């Protein structure tokens, strides 16, 4: 989906003829390896050296590497604005006829060993003993480490070391200067007034979104008190949503997939160094021609953000000091008397509204279900997010904007993971936050200060998303965004095809 969406921005003087003849870049139905090869070839033909293209797609784990050279870190951070990492266990071997090399994924989950003999023979394989080599002839041997590259240049007749490769690439452009000028951090944006809602207001909206006392006590309270997910030891005898005679949230009709056989899960706690929940939001630029404008985005340190941070982004350019970050808020509400037909019509209208907003210069879209009433019911946030994401992918404008979701129906880790998996850059579960604030103020269940309760909730939801990602072997939230690693159970195929395209 992401490469399909990026096609509208692609242009290069180095690739002759009309680029449209290359589309789709990734052949539908092809394997992951085939898609990787097609994108790698595009980047290489577009002017980047083969090692450069490979490191764009398989960067080492730089986010939590405190001792990494600043220039190298800037190289990786800049390219993260252009493309998400191609995550997963792999040892990728590549060549352009002159250089031949290999790179290991950031987790090092595929073994790779190399030997160099005194007559110039270089062997790289997954295991020892693949070829019978005279031990006396071996002048060098070693193991390819996570995120490291092994490169042989047949023209220069030498092995180019990992540090030399990356130092050379990091010095090609002033990436650190580009990042300093382009990236905007939340602390750089003017604070807005914090709004405290009354107990009656919170209770009324909890009723609209179907909150129960059990959810407040069993789900939200532990997260607000401890900053961790709630724990339980009992099984569940609840039927799946499709067979239940009770009203269920749309989230309940989706199940998480998990890594099997060739894609091992991660230990999100002990392998924290290679994971990252940070990302950025904003328009993307031409993948084939990097410029300082390519990283003009807002840095989001977490996939869940507070009401105050959303207020900052919503009014980011109100004072005229953040040019290029126009925000458009789309209201996900529909006439309840019209039923399902009115909801479908409203979703179509919002799709058209968002397309027009992009044409008018919007670079951040906020999908919001605030201000629901008896007459205007909220559209399920997952349905609206999937609809807008796939609508923009189909019309190839998805990379023009970042997508934020302000949702009242979100109160679990599963809900956040689904929204990110279907295209949201970050989620603001405003009613869950206002609920724990209210519980703290009223003295019910939550035993911390209101602001601490909200911070703990954000931390718990973020840690939960990381755990969900790790089940599938995904290390970064950028790779998880829009990945759709879910299956739908009990939904109409028509609904799935239109709003959750590609889901099984």
pLDDT score of 237? 76
Q: Which two tokens stand for residue 174?
A: 């002033």
Give the contacts of 175 (CB within 8 A, at least 6 positions apart).
71, 74, 75, 77, 78
Judged by phi (left if over 0) then psi (alpha if -120 to 50, else beta), residue 445 lies in: left
Q: Pick the range with the lowest mean pLDDT from 254-258, 278-282, 393-397, 455-459.
A: 254-258
pLDDT score of 322? 75
pLDDT score of 260? 67
pTM: 0.94
Beta bridge partners of 160: 151
Mean pLDDT on 323-340: 92
Q: How far apart are CA 11 and CA 18, in angstroms?
A: 9
Q: How far apart are CA 403 and CA 387, in angstroms?
A: 12
pLDDT at 76 over 90: yes
Comparing CA positions, the residue from 332, 251, 252, 287 lying closest to residue 53 is 287
In sequence order, what E strands does 369-417 have?
Answer: 376-378, 402-406
Long-range contacts of 55-58 (CB under 8 A, 24+ apart): 55/79, 55/103, 55/149, 55/165, 55/166, 55/169, 56/82, 56/83, 57/83, 57/85, 57/86, 58/85, 58/86, 58/90, 58/92, 58/103, 58/105, 58/106, 58/147
Q: How far apart are CA 280 and CA 300, in angstroms?
A: 5
Domain boundaries, the chain: 48-182, 185-499
Report residue 185 CA to chain centroid gap.
18
What is the architecture of the domain spanning 185-499? Answer: Alpha-Beta Barrel (3.20)
CA 242, 212, 428, 360 torsion-angle sign: positive
Q: How far apart are CA 253 and CA 240, in angstroms?
A: 8
Interval 478-490: pLDDT, tens? 999 999 999 999 9
pLDDT score of 489? 93
Comparing CA positions, the residue from 159, 157, 153, 155 lying closest to residue 141 is 159
Distances (CA, A) of 269 to 105, 275, 337, 445: 19, 9, 48, 28
Give the contacts of 290 (CB within 8 A, at least 6 positions apart).
78, 79, 82, 173
pLDDT score of 395? 92
**Per-residue pLDDT band at 320 (split at 50, 70, 90):** low
pLDDT score of 262? 66
How would you class 51 by CB atoms within 10 Å of its CB: exposed for 0-12, middle for 13-18, buried for 19 or more?
A: buried
Q: How far apart are CA 154 and CA 133, in angstroms?
A: 21
- Give, rounded to a whole angstrom, the gap between the first and last alpha carbons of the chain: 15
pLDDT at 69 over 70: yes
pLDDT score of 82? 93
* Rg of the Cα atoms in the chain: 24
Interval 342-358: pLDDT, tens? 999 999 999 999 999 99
pLDDT at 18 over 90: no
Measured CA angle at 186 (ends 183, 191), to 5 deg:
135
**Per-residue pLDDT band at 446 (split at 50, 70, 90):** confident
Q: How many CA atoms lie within 13 A of 143 on its CB side?
A: 8
pLDDT score of 190? 86
pLDDT at 23 over 70: yes
Regarding predicted confidence, which is higher, 105 or 419?
A: 419
Q: Which two tokens stand for residue 25?
A: 């870049």
Interval 243-293: pLDDT, tens? 888 889 999 999 988 766 667 788 888 888 899 999 999 999 999 999 999
């Amino acid at each position: 989906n992401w490469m399909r969406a990026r096609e509208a921005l692609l242009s290069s003087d180095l690739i002759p003829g009309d680029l449209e003849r290359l589309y789709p870049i990734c052949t539908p139905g092809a394997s992951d390896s085939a898609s990787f090869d097609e994108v790698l070839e595009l980047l290489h033909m577009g002017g980047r050296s083969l090692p450069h293209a490979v490191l764009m797609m398989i960067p080492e784990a730089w986010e939590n590497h405190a001792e990494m050279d600043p220039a190298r870190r800037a190289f990786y951070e800049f390219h993260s604005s252009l493309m998400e990492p191609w995550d997963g266990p792999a040892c990728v071997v590549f060549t352009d006829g002159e250089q031949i090399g290999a790179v290991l994924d950031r987790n090092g989950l595929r073994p790779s060993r190399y030997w160099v003999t005194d007559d110039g023979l270089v062997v790289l394989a997954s295991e020892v003993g693949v070829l019978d080599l005279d031990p006396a002839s071996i002048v060098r041997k070693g193991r390819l480490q996570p995120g490291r590259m092994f490169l042989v240049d047949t023209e220069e007749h030498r092995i180019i070391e990992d540090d030399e490769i990356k130092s050379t690439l990091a010095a090609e452009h002033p990436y650190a200067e580009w990042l300093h000028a382009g990236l905007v951090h939340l602390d750089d944006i003017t604070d807005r007034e914090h709004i405290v809602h009354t107990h009656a207001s919170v209770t009324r909206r909890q009723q609209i979104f179907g909150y129960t006392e059990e959810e407040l006590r069993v789900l939200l309270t532990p997260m607000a008190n401890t900053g961790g997910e709630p724990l339980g030891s009992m099984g569940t005898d609840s039927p799946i949503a499709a067979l239940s005679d009770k009203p269920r949230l749309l989230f309940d009709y989706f199940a998480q997939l998990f890594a099997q056989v060739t894609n091992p899960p991660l230990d999100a706690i002990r392998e924290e160094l290679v994971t990252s929940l940070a990302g950025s939001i904003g328009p993307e630029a031409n993948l084939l021609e990097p410029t300082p404008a390519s990283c003009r985005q807002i840095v989001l340190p977490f996939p869940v953000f507070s009401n105050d941070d959303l207020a900052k982004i919503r009014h980011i350019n109100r004072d005229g000091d953040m040019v290029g970050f126009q925000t458009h808020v789309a209201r996900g509400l529909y006439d309840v008397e019209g039923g399902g037909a009115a909801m479908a019509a409203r979703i179509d209208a919002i799709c058209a509204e968002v397309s027009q907003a992009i044409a008018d210069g919007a670079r951040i879209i906020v999908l919001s279900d605030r201000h629901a009433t008896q007459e205007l019911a909220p559209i399920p946030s997952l349905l609206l997010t999937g609809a807008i994401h796939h609508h923009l992918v189909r019309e190839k404008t998805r990379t023009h904007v970042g997508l934020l979701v302000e949702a009242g129906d979100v109160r679990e880790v599963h809900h956040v993971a689904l929204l990110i998996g279907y295209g949201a850059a970050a989620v603001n579960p405003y009613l869950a936050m206002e609920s724990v604030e209210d519980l703290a103020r009223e003295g019910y269940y939550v035993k911390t200060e209101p602001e601490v309760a909200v911070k703990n909730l954000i931390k718990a939801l973020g840690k939960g998303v990381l755990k969900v990602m790790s089940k599938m072997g995904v290390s970064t939230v950028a790779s998880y965004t829009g990945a759709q690693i879910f299956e739908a159970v009990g939904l109409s195929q028509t609904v799935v095809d239109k709003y959750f395209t590609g889901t099984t």
